[in-house]
Structure 1
Amino acid sequence: MYDELKQDVMKQSKGIGIDKIGFASVDVFTTLKERLKVQQENQYQSGFEKGTIEERTTPRKLMPEAQSIISIALAYPSKLENAPRSTKGDRRGQFCRASWGTDYHHILREKLEQLGEYLKEKHPDTQYKIMVDTGELSDKEVAVRAGIGFTGKNTVLITPEFGSYVYLGEMITNIPFEPDQPLEEDCGNCNLCVDTCPTGALIQGGQLNAQKCIAFLTQTKDFLPDDYRKKIGNRLYGCDTCQVVCPRNKGKNFHLHEEMEPDPEVVKPRLKPLLRISNREFKETFGPMAGSWRGKKPIQRNAIIALANYKDETAVDELIDVMKHDPRLVIRGTAAWALGKIGSESGKTAILEAKEKETDESVLAEMEKGLEFFTAPLS
């Protein structure tokens, strides 16, 4: 009976727009458990993780009746059509591909809910628990066990059909579906992602230090550590480097879901307008995408750093205004640093003036960093 139900579910999944589906056991993820212990010991975790190590590796801790897990994958686009150009005086930032279009959490959760409703119709005693990215289980580890793909040295899931440009989600169920076989593939001798990671966050193939990963750093809300400011370039949210260089992603560009199509002006926005965007404007423009979940503060901080990396002198007046009047310490201080990085005399004068009135030690420290650019030897 369950074999037939499994076939029905697979057929239904295609009908509702799921690109790949696989079935996994609810056995403890023992290898992951050991890796998480090492990650915790070395303080490699991001802090965004949910649950204890036991909860993250033992499905029955989350659902005692669990008998199997259904894993799904949806492919997203990797190429931006009609991408606007970033030009002198009109510089732009960028959101990573995983943040294009409508927030994938909503898209996958809706697909899984549809699948859950179908299961209840076919098997009224069905119980299920849905997770997409923010749950305790590792979407990637479930997908690997379910035969959806394999883990690359860049720590992301790679599928034969779509490369790593896929969103993942899963459903724990009380139905004993027969598990699928994991793929017997790996990256072989390729080490491009490890070698090209801008911050060296990939410690070795398959081990990530999230604290050094640009994708994580762009989502933090405090001052960005000095060592990483140049390295984030013009990234506003996320990082695609380890995916872009991956040979398995060559030629992979799928436009299968209309809701995932990016608006070029939103995913490559002008930087200067971001400095003065209101909460309402931010919510209306960026609210529907995954990259907005931390609010506008990290995006604005990253935009300021991007303008500094571009040495955009046309942004000096606006940065001065931000430094003098923004009530947020991180934004005010980062603007002072950026003015020093850009290096205009009007910026220097403004920092000296603002320094006389500033009372916060962290902002004053950033002002000192900004002023140091004017005395540092040219390299």
Structure 2
Amino acid sequence: MNTIELQQAIKEYAESIGIDKIGFTTAAPFRELKNRLVRQQELGYQSGFEEKDLDKRTEPALLLDQAESIIAIAIAYPSRMENSPRGKKGERRGIFCRASWGTDYHTVLRARLRLLEAFIIEHVPTARVKSMVDTGELSDRAVAERAGIGWSAKNCSIITPEFGSYVYLGEMITNIPFEPDEPMEDECGDCTLCLDACPTGALIVGGQLDATRCIAFLTQTKTTIPEEFRDKIGNRVYGCDTCQTICPKNRKKHNLHQEVFKPDPELAKPLLQPILSLSNRQFKERFGEVSGSWRGKNPIQRNAIIALAHFKEEAAVPELVGMLQNDPRPVMRGTIAWALGKIGTEEGFVAMEKSLVTEDDSDVRIELEKALDGWKKKQLSKYQPIIEDVLKWRYMLHYLSR
């Protein structure tokens, strides 16, 4: 079997194992990408999750000796949930982004890449391969763009004609010199809907993202989320889909054919309050199979607190008060102080005043003081009309008694 025949056989085999798109490109360095990454670092736009070594991110030959080609793959995931549960007062729900629905895509893509590796080595025993998904050194998006999987859109996603931007990406470096595919033409045109709709302004210009402002990144951090972003997070407990759902290229792209990614509605849109009391073991048992669990329970619990504040869910106040008094994690206590201030019940106000007496973390104290100050101002504004009426009548009585 010559290289051309092998390439065709790989395409056919890939389809048979559930790979939705496959493309080929050279293992030449990604020079333009390196320039962009340097600029991203200079501007402080990196998330910190990326590979630090820019050479490894842009030079495939550093990752596999005698690298000749890269095989890019894409597997579509659903954009629509069947039987989506609806939250209500007392039973509020959060939401995981679509990329975290169903089985963890890292597991699925790695398994299918391993099958593809075995197929190649069976036909070319001397072949050398190195596969990666998401957490590898190379930029999945840059590889997919050059291999013709789709174009790199203004929302920093790869958009495919068949599945929109709802695709997971992976790649395999190999020493086999396959014929490269042609990159696709950019079809975003003059559209700026994703830039306009981004809740935090994280999309600076088309194709440039300030990850430190991106909700998808913020929901994965383990530290306190800056106050300017909390209201904008809404009920998202992991990730953000706004720049995808607004995209015209994603209209009517439902992608329901991959059974492994069909969501369990109770996991994709979980009740918020039960999340607060999960132990590490319980969290792993419940959410461990979805990609959104990779950072552990702490970020999800913090995000659930923010979501309850978004709904001003008074039913959650007793549990939040208990956590404020007993939770050993300053990030949780500080977030709860802000949340109780947003919900605005007297029970929360009294609890915060008590906690301020004993709280020894300076950051939590700041959150408590701001929340209490906000509460007092609200109370003052609520009674201000009554005070003004009393003063007005006192003046009139004084005037009439003269």
TM class by shorter chain equals: over 0.9
Offset, 1:52 = 1.0
- Report the counterpart of residue 68 of structure 1 in structure 2: 69
- Report the counterpart of residue 316 of structure 1 in structure 2: 317
Offset, 1:281 = 1.4
- Report the counterpart of residue 28 of structure 2 in structure 1: 27
Return structure 1 stretches of 4+ with deviation > 6 angstroms.
none
Deviations 1:291-348 (Å, cap 9, x if unpaired)? 0000000000000011111111111100000100111111112112211111101110
Supply the AA of the counterpart residue of 1:106: T
Supply the AA of the counterpart residue of 1:251: K
Number of corresponding residues: 379
**Kindly tell me: are residues 376 and 61 of structure 1, through their superposed partners in 2, closer, same or farther at Cα, counting changes over 3 Å?**
farther
Question: Which runs of structure 2 are paired with 1:194-343 in the superposition (5 Å)?
Answer: 194-343=195-344
- Report the counterpart of residue 357 of structure 2 in structure 1: 356
Question: Are the equivalent residues in 1 in contact too, given 2:153–2:186 (CA < 8 A)?
Answer: no
- Report the counterpart of residue 97 of structure 2 in structure 1: 96
- Report the counterpart of residue 169 of structure 1 in structure 2: 170
Deviations 1:63-116 (Å, cap 9, x if unpaired)? 121100000000000001111101112111000000001110010011000000
- Report the counterpart of residue 393 of structure 2 in structure 1: none
- Report the counterpart of residue 40 of structure 1 in structure 2: 41
- Report the counterpart of residue 137 of structure 1 in structure 2: 138
Question: Are the equivalent residues in 1 in contact too, given 2:141–2:157 (CA < 8 A)?
Answer: yes
For 1:363 and 1:207, how far apart are their aligned partners in 2?
Answer: 34
Supply the AA of the counterpart residue of 2:366: A
For 1:311 and 1:254, how far apart are their aligned partners in 2?
Answer: 35
Supply the AA of the counterpart residue of 1:335: I
* Identical aligned residues as a percent: 58
Supply the AA of the counterpart residue of 2:181: D
Supply the AA of the counterpart residue of 2:262: E
Unpaired runs of 5+ residues, structure 1, are: none
For 1:122 and 1:376, how far apart are their aligned partners in 2?
Answer: 74
- Alpha-carbon RMSD across the aligned residues, in angstroms, is 1.1
Q: In terms of Rg, which structure is larger?
A: 2
Supply the AA of the counterpart residue of 1:203: I
- Range moving further from structure 2, 243-252 or 355-364: 355-364
- Report the counterpart of residue 186 of structure 1 in structure 2: 187
For 1:272 and 1:372, how far apart are their aligned partners in 2?
Answer: 26
- Report the counterpart of residue 398 of structure 2 in structure 1: none
**SS state of the match for residue 11, structure 1?**
helix
Supply the AA of the counterpart residue of 1:228: F
Supply the AA of the counterpart residue of 1:274: I
Offset, 1:186 = 2.5
- Range moving further from structure 2, 49-58 or 141-150: 49-58
Question: Are the equivalent residues in 2 in contact too, given 1:30–1:57 (CA < 8 A)?
Answer: yes
- Report the counterpart of residue 16 of structure 2 in structure 1: 15
**SS state of the match for residue 70, structure 1?**
strand
Question: Are the equivalent residues in 1 in contact too, given 2:132–2:172 (CA < 8 A)?
Answer: yes
Deviations 1:19-44 (Å, cap 9, x if unpaired)? 00000111111111111011000000
**SS state of the match for residue 199, structure 1?**
coil
Question: Are the equivalent residues in 1 in contact too, given 2:27–2:60 (CA < 8 A)?
Answer: yes
Unpaired runs of 5+ residues, structure 2, are: 383-402
For 1:18 and 1:221, how far apart are their aligned partners in 2?
Answer: 34
For 1:124 and 1:64, how far apart are their aligned partners in 2?
Answer: 16
Question: Are the equivalent residues in 1 in contact too, given 2:195–2:203 (CA < 8 A)?
Answer: yes
Question: Are the equivalent residues in 2 in contact too, given 1:151–1:186 (CA < 8 A)?
Answer: no
For 2:236 and 2:301, how far apart are their aligned partners in 1?
Answer: 11
For 1:185 and 1:294, how far apart are their aligned partners in 2?
Answer: 34
- Report the counterpart of residue 83 of structure 1 in structure 2: 84
Question: Are the equivalent residues in 1 in contact too, given 2:272–2:308 (CA < 8 A)?
Answer: yes
For 1:196 and 1:336, how far apart are their aligned partners in 2?
Answer: 29
For 2:342 and 2:172, how far apart are their aligned partners in 1?
Answer: 49
Deviations 1:339-360 (Å, cap 9, x if unpaired)? 1111101110001111111111
For 1:50 and 1:99, how far apart are their aligned partners in 2?
Answer: 22
- Range moving further from structure 2, 161-170 or 277-286: 277-286
Offset, 1:288 = 0.5
For 1:34 and 1:168, how far apart are their aligned partners in 2?
Answer: 22
For 2:14 and 2:339, how far apart are their aligned partners in 1?
Answer: 50
Question: Are the equivalent residues in 2 in contact too, given 1:343–1:373 (CA < 8 A)?
Answer: no
- Report the counterpart of residue 119 of structure 1 in structure 2: 120
Offset, 1:271 = 0.7
